[in-house]
C-alpha cells in the first residue's frame, strides 16, 4: 500500500516554484494521498491528543499541537526541546506513519534534498484566528537536513523572511496539499503563518493542519 502511495506522489505532475535559494514550493504535492494522510492523522490524535503548549514565557500558543515519530517538539516553562516521551500521556509519541515518511522523503527529494530521513513530525492545528509568529527552526542538532512543511485543510498565508527577524517576509498562499521545503542557505530563515481566515474545508472543516517534518537528532 505504501509503495503505491509513494509512486502516486512521485509520478503526479504538479507545479514547482523556487521561492528562495534552497526553498521550493510544491503545489498540490500531497493531494494524491490526502485520504491516507488524514486517516493516519486521526489515529495520531487519538493516541496523542492536540494541546495548546505553553511558551517559556508562560503564554499559551494559539496553535494546538501534537507529534509523531521518534521525537516530538515540546515547549513549556523549562524551554523548547525535543523529547521521545509525550509529557501529556507519559508514553512515547505515536510512530510516524509510512505514508507520512514516504511523502516527506519524496518531497525533499523533488526539492533537491535527496536522502532526507525525518525522525520527528510536528503536527499543528490552526483554527480561525490562530497564527504562528516569525521564528527559526533551530532546536535540531543538525541543520544539514531540510524542513518539509505540508499544508492540509483551509488555506493559509505563509510568511517566509530571512536570517534576521527584521527582514521583511514574503507572503505565499498555501492551499490544501501544498508543500514547502527549505534548507541549505535558507534553513534558518525566519518564517510563520498569518492569522488563519475563517472558512470551511470540504474534508477538514474549519481548520488547517500543518505537518512539519524534521531531522531532530
If one counts every other C-beta atom within 10 angstroms of the C-beta of residue 43, the result is 13
pLDDT surpasses 50 at 92: yes
**Band of the pLDDT at 9, cuts 50, 70, 90?**
low
Q: Is the pLDDT of residue 1 over 50?
A: no
* Whether residue 13 has pLDDT greater than 60: no
Dist. CA 140–CA 182, nearest whole Å: 14
Task: List domains and CATH numbers for the chain.
Answer: 2-214 (2.60.120.590)
| Chain position carrying cell 470551511 | 200
Torsion of the alpha carbons at 79, 85, 90 and 93, rounded to the nearest 10: 120
CB 164 within 8 A of CB 190: yes
Residues whose CB falls within 8 Å of the CB of residue 118, separated by 6 or more in sequence, listed in order = 69, 96, 101, 104, 105, 145, 148, 213, 214, 215
pTM value? Answer: 0.94
Q: What is the pLDDT of residues 161-216, one digit of tens each?
A: 999 999 999 999 999 999 999 999 999 999 999 999 999 999 999 999 999 999 99
Cβ atoms of residues 65 and 51 within 8 Å: yes
pLDDT at site 142: 86
The phi and psi torsions of 46 (rounded to 5 degrees) equal: -70, -35
Amino acid at each position: 500500500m505504501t509503495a503505491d502511495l509513494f509512486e502516486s506522489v512521485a509520478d503526479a505532475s504538479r507545479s514547482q516554484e523556487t521561492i528562495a535559494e534552497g526553498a521550493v514550493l510544491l503545489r498540490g504535492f500531497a493531494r494524491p494521498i490526502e485520504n491516507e494522510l488524514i486517516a493516519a492523522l486521526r489515529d495520531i490524535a487519538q493516541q496523542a491528543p492536540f494541546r495548546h503548549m505553553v511558551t517559556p514565557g508562560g503564554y499559551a500558543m494559539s496553535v494546538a499541537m501534537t507529534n509523531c515519530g521518534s521525537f516530538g517538539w515540546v515547549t513549556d516553562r523549562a524551554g523548547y526541546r525535543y523529547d521521545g516521551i509525550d509529557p501529556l500521556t507519559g508514553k512515547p509519541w505515536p510512530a510516524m506513519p509510512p505514508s507520512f515518511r514516504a511523502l516527506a522523503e519524496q518531497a525533499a527529494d523533488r526539492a533537491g534534498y535527496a536522502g532526507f530521513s525525518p525522525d520527528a513530525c510536528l503536527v499543528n492545528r490552526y483554527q480561525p484566528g490562530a497564527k504562528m509568529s516569525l521564528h527559526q527552526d533551530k532546536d535540531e542538532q543538525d541543520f544539514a537536513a531540510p524542513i518539509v512543511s505540508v499544508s492540509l485543510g483551509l488555506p493559509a498565508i505563509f510568511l517566509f523572511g530571512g536570517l534576521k527577524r527584521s527582514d521583511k517576509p514574503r507572503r505565499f498562499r498555501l492551499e490544501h496539499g501544498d508543500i514547502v521545503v527549505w534548507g541549505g542557505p535558507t534553513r534558518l530563515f525566519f518564517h510563520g503563518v498569518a492569522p488563519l481566515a475563517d472558512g470551511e474545508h470540504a474534508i477538514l472543516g474549519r481548520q488547517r493542519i500543518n505537518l512539519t517534518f524534521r531531522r531532530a537528532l
